[in-house]
Structure 1
Amino acid sequence: MQAIKVKQSGGLETIFVDNIEQASSPKKGEITVRIHAGSLNYHDYLVAAGHLKTDSDRVLLSDGAGVVEQVGEGVTEFKVGDHVVSTFFPQWLSGEVVPSAGDFHQTPGDGTDGYAMESVTRPVEAFTHAPAGWSHAEAATITTAGLTAWRALVADGKLKAGDTILTLGTGGVSIAALQIGKMFGANVIITSSSDDKLAKAKALGADATINYREHPDWAREVMEITNGLGAKHILELGGPGTLEQSIKAAAVGGHISLIGVMSGLSGQVPTGLLMMKQVRLQGLLVGTRRQQQDYVKALEMNDFRPVIDKSFKYQQLAEAFEYQTNGAHFGKICVEW
Structure 2
Amino acid sequence: MRYYHLPSFSGVDALRLDERGTPVPGPREVLVRMRAWSLNYRDLLIADGRYGRGMKPDVVPLSDGAGEVVEAGSEVTRWKPGDRVLSVFLPRWISGPADAARTAGALGGPADGVLAEYVVFDQDALVATPSHLEAAEACTLPCAAVTAWHALVVHGRIASGQSVLTLGSGGVSVFALQFAVLAGAEVVVTSSGDAKLERLLAMGAVAGVNYSRTPEWGKHVQEITDGGVDHVVEVGGSGTLPQSVRAVRTGGRVSVIGVLSQGPGLDPVQLLRRAVTVQGMQVGSRETFEAMNRAVELHRIRPVIDHAFAFSDARAAYRRLESGGHFGKVVIVAD
**Bin of the TM-score, shorter chain as denominator length:** over 0.9
Paired residue for 2:114?
115
How is 1:50-69 mapped onto 2 (pairs within 5 angstroms)? Answer: 50-52=49-51, 54-69=55-70
Deviations 1:182-201 (A, max 9, x none): 11111111100010000111
Secondary structure in 1 matching 2:306 = strand
Paired residue for 2:138?
139
Which consecutive segments of 4 or more residues in structure 1 shift more than 4 A?
none
Paired residue for 1:324?
321
Unaligned regions of 5+ residues in structure 2, if any? none
Counterpart code for 1:199? E
Match of 2:253 among 249, 255, 264: 255
Q: Distance in 2 between matches of 1:285 and 1:18?
A: 32
Paired residue for 1:290?
287
Asked if 1 retains the 8 angstrom alpha-carbon contact of 2:33 and 2:118, the reply is yes
Paired residue for 2:148?
149
Paired residue for 1:92?
93
Asked if 1 retains the 8 angstrom alpha-carbon contact of 2:174 and 2:304, the reply is yes
Q: Distance in 2 between matches of 1:240 and 1:121?
A: 37
Asked if 2 retains the 8 angstrom alpha-carbon contact of 1:32 and 1:119, the reply is yes
Q: Distance in 2 between matches of 1:253 and 1:75?
A: 47
Asked if 1 retains the 8 angstrom alpha-carbon contact of 2:29 and 2:72, the reply is yes
Asked if 1 retains the 8 angstrom alpha-carbon contact of 2:145 and 2:175, the reply is yes
Asked if 2 retains the 8 angstrom alpha-carbon contact of 1:32 and 1:68, the reply is yes
Paired residue for 1:31?
30
Secondary structure in 1 matching 2:320 = helix
Q: CA offset at residue 106 of structure 1?
A: 0.9
Question: More deviation in 135-144 or 48-57?
Answer: 48-57
Unaligned regions of 5+ residues in structure 1, if any? none
Counterpart code for 2:13? E
Asked if 2 retains the 8 angstrom alpha-carbon contact of 1:60 and 1:114, the reply is yes
Q: Distance in 2 between matches of 1:168 and 1:50?
A: 25
Taking structure 1 as the reference length, the TM-score comes to: 0.95
How is 1:202-213 mapped onto 2 (pairs within 5 angstroms)? Answer: 202-213=201-212
Counterpart code for 1:76? T
Taking structure 2 as the reference length, the TM-score comes to: 0.96
Counterpart code for 1:63? D
Counterpart code for 1:254? G
Question: More deviation in 215-224 or 325-334?
Answer: 215-224
Q: Distance in 2 between matches of 1:38 and 1:114?
A: 10
Secondary structure in 1 matching 2:76 = coil
Asked if 2 retains the 8 angstrom alpha-carbon contact of 1:10 and 1:51, the reply is no
Cα RMSD, aligned residues only: 1.3
Q: CA offset at residue 46 of structure 1?
A: 1.0
Paired residue for 1:335?
332
Secondary structure in 2 matching 1:112 = coil
Q: Distance in 2 between matches of 1:9 and 1:226?
A: 44
